[in-house]
Chain A
Amino acid sequence: MAGAAQAAPGRTAVLRKFRLGNLLFLNLTRAAAVLVLVLLGGVMLALIEGASPALREFGFGFITSQSWNPVTEKFGALAPVYGTIVTSLIAMLIAVPVGLGIAIFLTELCPTPLRRPIGIAIELLAGIPSIIYGIWGLFVFAPFLQTTVQPFLISVFGPIPLLNAVFAGPPYGIGILTAGLILAIMVLPFITSIARDVFSTVPPVLKEAAYGIGCTRWEVVKNVVLPFTRVGVIGGVMLGLGRALGETMAVTFVIGNAHKISASILAPGTTISATIANEFTEAVGDIYTSSLIALGLLLFVITFIVLAIARYMLLRLEMKGGK
C-alpha cells in the first residue's frame, strides 16, 4: 500500500512530462509545416512589393509592351514572355512523345533485368544540374546545330512559304530553337519517370484481359493503359511544362539574350528567367530592378498555375487508384 502511494506522485510527474513533451513536439512540427506555407506566401508578397514600382509605372501595358530600354527606362514583358512560351512549346513537342515512348518501353517491353538500370540512367539525367546542360549547349550543341542542322533546315524550308519565315537564317547556333531543344533534353527525364510511375498504376488484370481477347501490345497501350492513366499523364506533362517555363541557367547560355520577337525560331531571343539572370546584377535604377522583379512575379504566377493544375491532375489519378 505504502509503495503504491509513493509511486503515484512519481507517475503523475512522468505523465505530465510526457504530455508536455508531446505538446511541445506537436507544436514544433506544426510550426514547421506552417512555415512552408509562410515561405510561399512570403515569396509572393516580396515579389509583389518589389514589382510594385514598375507595375505602377507601366500598369497593364507592362505585359503588352515589347520595348525593353534601360536608357529611356521603358520596360515591357512581351518579348521575354513570348520567348518563354515558344521555347517551352518546342521542348514539350519533342519531350512528350519521346518521354511517353520511353515510359511505354520501360513498362511494357523492356526485359525485367534491364528495367532498373535504364530507369536509373534516365533519373540520373534528371539529376544533372542545369548549368551543365548550359555549358554543354553553348560549347558542343550550339556549334553542332550551327554547322549542320540549321543550314539544313534553312535550305529545306526555304522554298516553302510561311515555313521559310519560321526557319529564316542566318544560322547563329544559339537562339530560340537551341534553347527549346536543350529544354527538351532537360524535361525528358521528368516526364519519363512520372509517366512510368503512372503507367504502373494500371491494374494488371485490365491489361491481361485485353491481351486475353487478342489485343496486340500497341492496342493494349492505346486502349487500356493510356485511357486509364490519362489524367496522370496530363499531370506529368504539366509538371514538365512547369520545369521548362522556369528553367534558367541552361537557357541563359544558349538563348542569345535579344529583347525582340522574331518570326524565325533560329533567331536569338530571350526568356523571363534568362533576362533576370543576365541583367539583374547590372540593373541600375529602381524602375529597371523593379521591372526585372515584376518579370519574376509573372513567371512565378504562370508556373504556379501550371504546377497547381499538374498536382491536381496527379491527385485525381491517385484517388482513382485508391478506390
Chain B
Amino acid sequence: MSNANPFYGRRKSRSNLMMGLCMAASLFGLAWLVLILAALIWNGFSGLSLDVFTQNTPPPGSAGGLLNAIIGSLIMTVLGVVIGTPIGILAGTYMAEYGAHGKLSLVVRFINDILLSAPSIVIGLFVYEVMVVRMGHFSGFAGAVALSIIVIPVVVRTTEDMLNLVPNQLREAASALGMPRHLVIRRIAYRAARAGMVTGVLLAIARVSGETAPLLFTALNNQFGGANLNGPMASLPVVIFQFALSPYKDWQQLAWTGALIITLSVLTLSILARVIASRSRQ
C-alpha cells in the first residue's frame, strides 16, 4: 500500500539516505582508530627489543634505548598521581557529601569542568612561572606538579559522580546507628564507591601518561637518566617529540617505538578501568 504513495516513498528514501550517511560516518570514525593503531604497530614493533628497556637515549647516530625516558615518565606520573589524587578525592567528597547544592559546590563544579578541558600547555606555563622561575632551573618535581594539576579535575569529577551513585539509604542506615558524618563518608560511602573511584584514578593515569605539553618547559629533558627530582628529567612523550622531529633515522625509530609503548599502556589502563567499572555495576 505504501508503495502506491509516491510521497511516502520519497520520505522513506530520504530517511534511508540519511541513515546510510550516519552509518558511513560511524565506519569513517572507526577507520581512523584502525589506521592509527595499524601504523603504530607496523612502525613501532620493528624497533622493539630488550635494548629499548635497558639503555638510555642515545646521541644522534648511535643505537640506544628509552630507559631514562621510561623511568622519568614513571616517576613523574606516580608522583603527580600521588599529589593530585588525595586533593581530588577530598574536593569531590565535599561536593557530593557536604555541600551538594551549596554555592561553593556549584562554582567549583563549573570551574573544575573547565579545568578538565583547559589546554594543558597553559598548565605548563603556569608551573613554569610559579616553580621553574622561582627555583631557577627545570626539575622533575615541577613536571610532577604540572601533571598533578591535570590529575585533580579528573579525580574530582569521577569521585563526585561515584559518590552520588551510592544509595542514600546506606548513609541513613549508618547515621541511624549513631555514626558521625565523617565516618559515614569514610567507612560507608567510600567503600560503596571504591571501584568507581579507582576507575577515576586509572583514567587520570591514562590521561597523564601521554601528556607532553605540560612537561616541555617544566621537566624539560635529560639524556642521562638519573632519578634526581631536583634536576631536569626525561619523559617518554617529550623524547618522542624531540626524536620524531629530528632528521636521524635511529631517533625516529625510537620515537615510533616509544609511541607504541605509550599507546599500549594507555589503552590497557582505559580498558582495565572499564572492566573494573562494569564489574562493580553488576
Q: Which residues of A contact B (CB under 8 A)?
A: 18-19, 21-22, 24-26, 28-37, 39-40, 42-43, 46-47, 49-50, 97-99, 101-102, 104-106, 108-110, 118, 120-125, 127-136, 138-140, 185, 188-189, 192, 216-219, 221, 239, 242-243, 245-249, 252-253, 273, 276-277, 280-281, 292-293, 296, 299-300, 303-304, 307-308, 311
Chain A residue numbers with a CB within 8 Å of B30 are 118, 121-122
Asked if B22 CB lies within 8 Å of chain A CBs, one says: yes
B130 touches A46 (CB 8 A): yes
B210 touches A129 (CB 8 A): yes
Chain B residue numbers with a CB within 8 Å of A246 are 117-122
9 nearest CB pairs, A to B: A129-B210, A246-B119, A101-B25, A32-B90, A216-B15, A29-B94, A25-B182, A218-B15, A18-B180
Give the residue of B108, B112, B129, B213 whose beta carbon is less than 8 angstroms from that of A277: B213
Question: What's the Cα separation between A34 and B112 when bound, in Å?
Answer: 11
A40 touches B114 (CB 8 A): yes
A218 touches B18 (CB 8 A): yes
Within 8 A of A (CB), among B222-250: 237, 240-241, 244-245
A21 touches B25 (CB 8 A): no
Asked if B147 CB lies within 8 Å of chain A CBs, one says: no
With A105-B22, A105-B26, A218-B19 known to touch, is A304 a contact of B114 (CB < 8 Å)? yes
B267 touches A127 (CB 8 A): yes
B29 touches A98 (CB 8 A): yes
Pull 20 A–B residue pairs with CB atoms less than 8 Å apart, ordered by A: A30-B104, A33-B91, A36-B115, A99-B25, A105-B22, A118-B26, A122-B30, A125-B33, A128-B263, A129-B263, A129-B266, A130-B210, A131-B237, A216-B15, A246-B120, A280-B128, A280-B217, A281-B220, A296-B122, A303-B119
A259 CB, min distance to chain B CBs, angstroms:
18
B119 touches A247 (CB 8 A): yes
Number of interface residues of B (CB under 8 A): 92
A124 touches B270 (CB 8 A): yes
B139 CB, min distance to chain A CBs, angstroms:
14
Give the residue of A43, A102, A239, A273 whose beta carbon is less than 8 angstroms from that of B25: A102
Question: What's the Cα separation between A291 and B117 when bound, in Å?
Answer: 24
B32 touches A37 (CB 8 A): no
Asked if B105 CB lies within 8 Å of chain A CBs, one says: yes
B255 CB, min distance to chain A CBs, angstroms:
6
A131 touches B108 (CB 8 A): no
Question: What's the Cα separation between A120 and B182 when bound, in Å?
Answer: 36
Within 8 A of A (CB), among B92-141: 93-95, 97-99, 104-105, 107-108, 110-115, 117-123, 125-126, 128-130
B216 touches A124 (CB 8 A): no
Chain B residue numbers with a CB within 8 Å of A26 are 94, 98, 181-182
With A135-B259, A280-B216, A293-B129 known to touch, is A39 a contact of B118 (CB < 8 Å)? no
Q: Which of B50-58, B61-69, B149-157, B165-173 contacts A (4 or more CB under 8 A)?
A: B149-157
| B270-281 contact mask (Cβ, 8 Å, vs A): 1 or 0 | 110010000000
Asked if B14 CB lies within 8 Å of chain A CBs, one says: yes
B108 touches A33 (CB 8 A): yes
Residue of B nearest to A295 (CB): B125
Question: What's the Cα separation between A216 and B8 when bound, in Å?
Answer: 9
| B22-46 contact mask (Cβ, 8 Å, vs A): 1 or 0 | 1111101110110110011001000
Chain B residue numbers with a CB within 8 Å of A139 are 39, 43, 244, 252, 256
Residue of A118, A135, A280, A300 most packed against chain B (CB within 10 A): A135
Residue of A nearest to B12 (CB): A216
Chain B residue numbers with a CB within 8 Å of A50 are 125, 129
Asked if B21 CB lies within 8 Å of chain A CBs, one says: yes
Asked if B206 CB lies within 8 Å of chain A CBs, one says: yes
Chain A residue numbers with a CB within 8 Å of B119 are 245-248, 273, 299-300, 303
A217 touches B25 (CB 8 A): no
Give the residue of B95, B117, B211 whose beta carbon is less than 8 angstroms from that of A33: B95
Asked if B78 CB lies within 8 Å of chain A CBs, one says: no
Chain B residue numbers with a CB within 8 Å of A105 are 19, 22-23, 25-26
A192 CB, min distance to chain B CBs, angstroms:
7
With A243-B117, A246-B119 known to touch, is A132 a contact of B259 (CB < 8 Å)? yes
Asked if B158 CB lies within 8 Å of chain A CBs, one says: no
A249 touches B130 (CB 8 A): no
A134 touches B244 (CB 8 A): yes
Question: What's the Cα separation between A293 and B15 when bound, in Å?
Answer: 51
Give the residue of A39, A104, A219, A239 whose beta carbon is less than 8 angstroms from that of B22: A104
